[in-house]
Structures are given as structure tokens and as C-alpha cells.
Structure 1
Amino acid sequence: MSRWQELTGGTSGDEYAARFAALARSGKDVHGEARFCAALVPAGARVLDAGCGTGRVAIRLAELGYDCVGVDLDDSMLDVARAHAPELPWFRADLAQFDPALLGIAADFDLVVAAGNVFPLLAAGTEAAVVKRLAGALRPGGLLVAGFGLDAAHLPVPPGIRLPEYDASCAAAGLALVDRFATWDAEAYDGGGYAVSVHRASP
């Protein structure tokens, strides 16, 4: 069972969506992840939102002209995504066993994004397998972007994967570190408790 399932019971889709809706109404920017990704690849690029949750990132990128696919294991989150954007392809899958071919989609994404603490909330011990699966969904030269907390202040669960472990998993999957930031606004990484990492597949 994933840490996310242990934390939420797989029933928090509506609550999660309501929280972000309230943030948006208050004037908070809730599209930093989509804006970050849009700066990396041009409109029209294929984007996989891995651990898409309620679809916030994929839906915004689709609005900006990207060809988006969302994948998540939590039915309650996917129900919200499908309600808000029924025209987009949403798939239920465990990222540790993610196989685009089994879902009938091409494994040639220009960018895969894992936002919202996806990696720290995976089932313990599956992180390297997930990196390998996501790397396998990229076209040559494609990008894997992952943002996640590294300490208790940035996570709802005890810290799990560390950056050296994540980088090692990426290297083993044929991905090279391109850049690392402290926020989705591309602030320079300073060794703090949150990191957004960009890795590239071999051309």
C-alpha cells in the first residue's frame, strides 16, 4: 500500500479539490507546476501527469495547448479529474507497474511531471521502479520533472526518498540531471526542504 493510501484511505478527492479551489479564489497562484513545465517544452508537446490526482496540472497544461494524459491510483482523485475534464484521457494505474502499452498509449512523452509529493507518497521501496517506469515513457531526449518535499516541514508523512537516492535511480534509468530548483517558480535550489528536479533522457 502506498503512503498516500495509508494517509487518505483513497477517499480524499473532493476534499483535495476543494482546498485548491479555495486557494484559487483567495488569489493564490495554483498553476506554478504547469507554468514551470510550459517553460520547458513547447505547446503541443505530449505530457504525462504521473500521479495526476485531481488533474490540476494536466488540465491547466491542456488549456495551454499541450497534449496531456493523466495517471493515478486513487479513484476518488480521478473521479474529480474526469468530472472537470472529461475530454482528457485519465487512467488508473500503479506507477510502479505503469506500462503505457497496456493502457493503449504511446511511450513517447516529451515530458513527464510528478508534482504534489508523488515520490514521497509512493509505497516504500518502489521509488526506483517508478523512476524506471516513467523514464521508459519518455521519448529520446524527453524530460522527467519531479517536485517533492525532503523534510517534515514539506511533507504530510515522514521523509522518505532523498535527493542522492533519487538522482541515483534516475541515473540507473538513463536520465541525467539538467537542473534543480527550490520552487516551481524556478528559484535556485539552496539545499532546503523542497526540490524540483529536471532530468533528461538520453537523446
Structure 2
Amino acid sequence: MNRWKELTGETSGQDYAARFAALARSGKDVHGEARFCAALVPAGARVLDAGCGTGRVMIRLAELGYDCVGVDLDASMLAVARQQAPGLPWFQADLAGFEPGLLGIEADFDLVVAAGNVFPLLAAGTEGAVVGRLAASLRPGGLMVAGFGLDEAHLPVSPGITLPEYDDRCAEAGLTFVDRFATWDADSYEGGGYAVSVHRR
């Protein structure tokens, strides 16, 4: 069982969406991930939102002109995404066994984004499989971006994968390290409990 399901029982979609809606109403910027992605690839690029949740990042990218596909395992989160953007393609799938072709999706994405602590919340031991599946869905030269917490202050569960472990899984999948930041606002990474990593196929 993945750690997200252990944490939420996969019934938290409405609550999750409500929390971000409240943040947006309070004036907080909730589009940092989408802005970061938009700085990496031009509008019109194909983007896979891996672990898309309620669709906050993908919906914003679609508004900015990106060709997006969202994948998540949690039906409660996808229900919210489909309600908010019924015209966008949302798929329920386990990232550890993700095969775009079986879903009728072409595996030539310009960018894969895994925001929202996707990797620390995977089932233990599946991180390499997930990186491999996501890397295989990229076109040559495509980018993978993952942002996740590294300590208890930045995670709802005990820390999972470390940055060296993540980099090793990426290298095993044929990805090359490009850059790393401390936030989705592209602040430089100098250690700390959160990192946004960019790798290239």
C-alpha cells in the first residue's frame, strides 16, 4: 500500500481542494509549480502531471496553453479534478505500473511534473519503478521535475526517499541531472528540507 493511502484512506479529495481554495482566497500564490514548469517548456508543450491530485497544477498549465494529461491513483482526488475541469484528460493509474499506451496516451511528453510530495508518498520500494515509468514516457530531451519534502517539517509522514537515492533512481532510468532548487520559485538549493529537482532524458 502506498503511504498516501495509509495517510488519507484515499477519501480526502474534497478536503484537499478546499484547503488550496482557502489559500487562494487569502491571497496566497498557489500556482508556483505551474509557473516553474512554464519557465522550462514553451506553451503548447505536452505535460504529464504525475500524481495530479485534484488537478490544481495541471488546470493552471492548461489555462496557460499546455497540452496536459493527469494521472493519479486516488479516485477521490480525480473526482474533484474532473468536476473542476471535465474537458481535460484525467486517468486513474498506479504510477509504478504506468503504461501510457494502455491508456491510449502517446508516450512523448516534453515534461513530466511530480509535485505535492509524490515520491515520499509512494509505496516503499517502488520509487525506482515509478521513475523508470515516468522517464520512459518522456521524449528524448524531455524534462522531469519533482518537488518533495525531505524532513518531517515538510512532510505529512516520516521522511522517505533521500535526494541521493532519488538521483540514483533517475540515473538508473537514463535521466541526467540538470538543476535543483529549494522552492518552486526557483530559489537556489543549499541544503534544507525541500527540493525541486530537474532531470533530462
Whole-angstrom distance in 2 between the partners of 1:136 and 1:81: 25
Corresponding position: 1:77 with 2:80: no
- State the match for 2:47 in structure 1: 47
Aligned counterparts, 1:93-172, within 5 A: 93-172=93-172
What is residue 63 of structure 1 aligned with on the other side? 63
Q: Does the residue aligned with 2:184 lie in a helix, a strand or coil?
A: coil
**How far apart, in 2, do the equivalents of 1:11 and 1:65 lie?**
31
What letter corresponds to residue 60 of structure 1 in structure 2?
R
CA offset at residue 190 of structure 1?
1.0
CA distance in 1, matches of 2:128, 2:147: 16
Q: How far did residue 74 of structure 1 move?
A: 0.1
Structure 2 CA distance for aligned equivalents of residues 151 and 168 of structure 1: 19
Distance in 1 (CA, whole Å) between partners of 2:177 and 2:23 is 32
Deviations 1:52-75 (A, max 9, x none): 000000000000000000000000
* SS state at 2:86 partner: coil
Code of the residue aligned with 1:40 in structure 2: it is: L
SS of 2:158's partner is coil
Alignment coverage as a number of residue pairs: 201
In the aligned structure 2, how far is the partner of 1:199 from the partner of 1:149?
A: 17
Post-superposition offset of 1:82: 0.2
Q: Where does the alignment leave 5 or more consecutive residues of structure 1 unmatched?
A: none
Could you say what secondary structure the match of 1:188 adopts?
A: coil
SS in 2 for 1:21: helix
Q: Runs of at least 4 residues of structure 1 off by over 6 A?
A: none
Deviations, residues 105-152 of structure 1 (Å, cap 9, x unaligned)? 000000000000000000011001000000000000000000000000
SS at match of 1:27: coil
Superposed counterparts of 1:2-17, under 5 Å: 2-17=2-17
Q: How does 1:192-203 map to 2 (within 5 A)?
A: 192-201=192-201
Q: What RMSD in Å do the two structures reach over aligned CA positions?
A: 0.3
d(CA) in 1 for partners of 2:118, 2:182: 16
Distance in 1, Cα, partners of 2:96 & 2:105? 17
Give the Cα–Cα distance (whole angstroms) in 1 for the partners of residues 89 and 53 of structure 2: 13
For structure 2, the 5+ residue unaligned runs are none
- The TM-score with structure 1 as length reference comes to 0.99
Provide the C-alpha distance between the structure 2 equivalents of 1:194 and 1:144, rounded to a whole number of angstroms. Answer: 17
Classify the secondary structure of the residue corresponding to 1:107: coil
What fraction of aligned residue pairs are identical, expressed as a percent?
84
Task: Quote the Cα distance in structure 1 between the aligned partners of 2:119 and 2:168.
Answer: 14
CA positional deviation for 1:80: 0.2
Tell me the residue number matched to 2:173.
173
Q: Partners in 2 of 1:31 and 1:125 — Cα distance?
A: 31
Amino acid at match of 2:91: F
